Amino acid sequence: MTSTDAPADLSRLLEPLDLGAVKARNRVFLAPLTRMRAEQPGDLVGDLHVEYYRQRATAGLVISEGTQISEEAKGYADTPGVHTREQAAAWRRVTDAVHDEGSVVAAQLWHTGLVDHESLHGGRPPVSASAVQVRTRTSLKDEQGRIVRADVPVPRALETSEIPRLVDDYRRATATALEAGFDLVEIHAAHGYLLHQFLSAVTNHRTDAYGGSLENRQRVVLEVVDALVAEAGRGRVGIRVSPTGKFNGLEDAAGAEEGLDLAARLAERDLAYLHLSEPDWAGGPALDDQWRERLRAAYPGTLVGAGSYDAAKAVRLIDAGLIDAAAFGRTFIANPDLPTRLATGAPLNPQRPETFYGGGAEGYTDYPTLG
């Protein structure tokens, strides 16, 4: 990459972008963020969520928090679902709010796989590609609603005969999301959750058509992609991947190469975008531009980068043609008007990490905007 001494033009972040079937009004996206504030019973979004997402509809694309596609898919306390009528009706108020503010919104479709706890499923173990124990933890709540971290148990390997049902769970959740007014869906295939557990040979020891070769390990992800594009239409499905890094204990030395191969497979589909979660946010080693150039060659479509970005990094990579937009997580939690702040170089509000997970309005809807 060439570097110059001229300051980057940060206002480029406010340029619109074609995003499959929709248009993003700028290149600063709200990253999917677990906040553990769903209402019970029913894993429902409520008034607080409507306000939180409305405030952040300044984003070019609002991506919802990870939203479970089925009862089985839930792996954390008080995360919302997108698989019941009530959940669809509750989400409708959020999508209406985002549309009222002039933006577009994607539902992030989540199955946590082994990052889960039997206490969330009446004592039944979590499911995964294989019965491989991974050293990671999930977050539950105690009787007082305080977050407690819990080691994850050994999962049960999904039977081959269950895979069509799993793919159909993603398809039905997509239909429910569209009914709820979401413009797009984003498949969560990153961060050591179920689809990543199928992709990686670290967690996939299967001997059927869904394990072994790289092609077999990619099979379930590509079946999900194809089913969702058929359900939602061209340009309405995005996918999030994180081939490198070690979040949730899934560290795969083959990830950098295999991630490029998956990107090439995805480029053959009519997706809205490919969303890359870079390892920096969880303390992993930064990607280099050589790899980014190979990713761009493998995936000529819309690329979204994320992971501890700041405005300068986003603009540098957009100018270099290596990404098209950037998603922001923690900085967007603390700054509902983040696109303007980044584009003008305005100062950012301090973050309050102790209120990231669980609780109510504090640390959720009470961050101030400029002026």
Q: Which residues bind ligand PHB (CB under 6 A)?
A: 34, 66, 76, 190-191
Q: How far is the CB of 61 from ligand PHB (least distance, A)?
A: 17
| Tokens representing residue 91 in the block | 């989400």
**309 catalytic residue (yes or no):** no
Q: How far apart are CA 95 and CA 88, in angstroms?
A: 10
DSSP-assigned letters across all residues of 80-104: -BSSSHHHHHHHHHHHHHHHHTT-E
Q: How far is the CB of 139 from ligand PHB (least distance, A)?
A: 6
C-beta separation of 250 from 202 below 8 A = yes
Q: How far apart are CA 325 and CA 30, in angstroms?
A: 11
C-beta separation of 192 from 247 below 8 A = yes
What separation in angstroms does the CA of 221 have from each of 163, 262, 293, 366? Answer: 11, 9, 24, 38
C-beta separation of 364 from 52 below 8 A = yes
| Residue with smaller CB distance to ligand PHB, 38 or 343 | 38
Q: Which residues does 226 contact at the CB level (< 8 Å), separation at least 6?
A: 269
Chain position carrying tokens 């394990």: 211
Sign, CA dihedral 353-355-361-364, equals positive
DSSP three-state, residue 292: helix
Q: How far is the CB of 247 from ligand PHB (least distance, A)?
A: 6
Chain position carrying tokens 């967007």: 332
Select from 2, 78, 69 the least CA-distant residue to 34. 78
Residue nearest to ligand PHB (CB): 34
Q: How far apart are CA 81 and CA 87, in angstroms?
A: 6
Q: How far is the CB of 212 from ligand PHB (least distance, A)?
A: 26
| Tokens representing residue 304 in the block | 């979204």
| Residue with smaller CB distance to ligand PHB, 153 or 212 | 153
Residue of 53, 76, 193, 364 marked catalytic? 193
Q: How far is the CB of 16 from ligand PHB (least distance, A)?
A: 27
C-beta separation of 275 from 283 below 8 A = no
Q: How far is the CB of 137 from ligand PHB (least distance, A)?
A: 10
C-beta separation of 98 from 57 below 8 A = yes
Q: How far is the CB of 172 from ligand PHB (least distance, A)?
A: 21
C-beta separation of 203 from 191 below 8 A = no
Q: Which residues does 350 contact at the CB level (< 8 Å), separation at least 6?
A: 334
Active-site annotation, residues: 193
